[in-house]
Each structure stands twice: as C-alpha cells, then as structure tokens.
Structure 1
C-alpha cells in the first residue's frame, strides 16, 4: 500500500483557481460520531482544534484533527 503524497502547492502565477481548503469539522462533548475504521462512538473528551477522545464501546481512541475519517451523526 502506498502512502498518499502531500497535496500539491498552488503557484501564485498559475492561471488555474487555487483548490479550496476542506471545511474544518466541529464536534462537541457528547456528539455521536461514526469513524471509517472504528465505527460508532461518542465524543468523551475535547482538545480544542487538536484532537477528540472518542469512546467506541470496545475501545477509546484519540482522533487528531482534521478528522477526515470521522463524521457527526
């Protein structure tokens, strides 16, 4: 399995539009979430803009920002 490469940077002199940055996801304590790898869980801890502590029932995991694999239910 290959590691994804870093996103390409946009040159200021390029005639093409710069790619939009993905919108930051916001979660609060108690939110129900789903994660691509761990499944359903509940936010039990918040480190503002850094990470979320999520209880997935069988395990707890610290999910770091930008939370690309996690969605709010």
Structure 2
C-alpha cells in the first residue's frame, strides 16, 4: 500500500495553501495574495496537516512535495 492510499484526498484550497507555504508564504501573505479569509486558510492548512498525518506545517509541505502534490 502506498502513502497516497493511506491519506485522505486533499482539496483544492488545501493544496493551494500548501503550495504557497512551500514557497515561503506566511498565512498573512496567503490571505493578501488570495483574498481568502485567514480563518479559511488556517482551516485548510490544519486539515491538510491532519490528512497528511503530519505533526506540523513543515512536515505537511514535505510530505505533499514527496507525493508530488504541489504545483
């Protein structure tokens, strides 16, 4: 069983926020660049961390990159 079989599917907002985080954007940067409310960004990142079974945002970005999920 591969890692992709063991994780829940990430949604478009979760992937977008992870991609921005991978490029060094802060949550405030993400809010300014996307006009998405901070609450939604926080929720998307927390959900992505949980779905990727990561302990923090850096680990979630690393796992998403290893799975080739980031654009």
Question: Which protein has the bigger helix share?
Answer: 2
TM-score (norm 1): 0.23
Name the structure where strand makes up a greater proportion of residues: 1
TM-score of the superposed pair, with normalisation by structure 2: 0.24
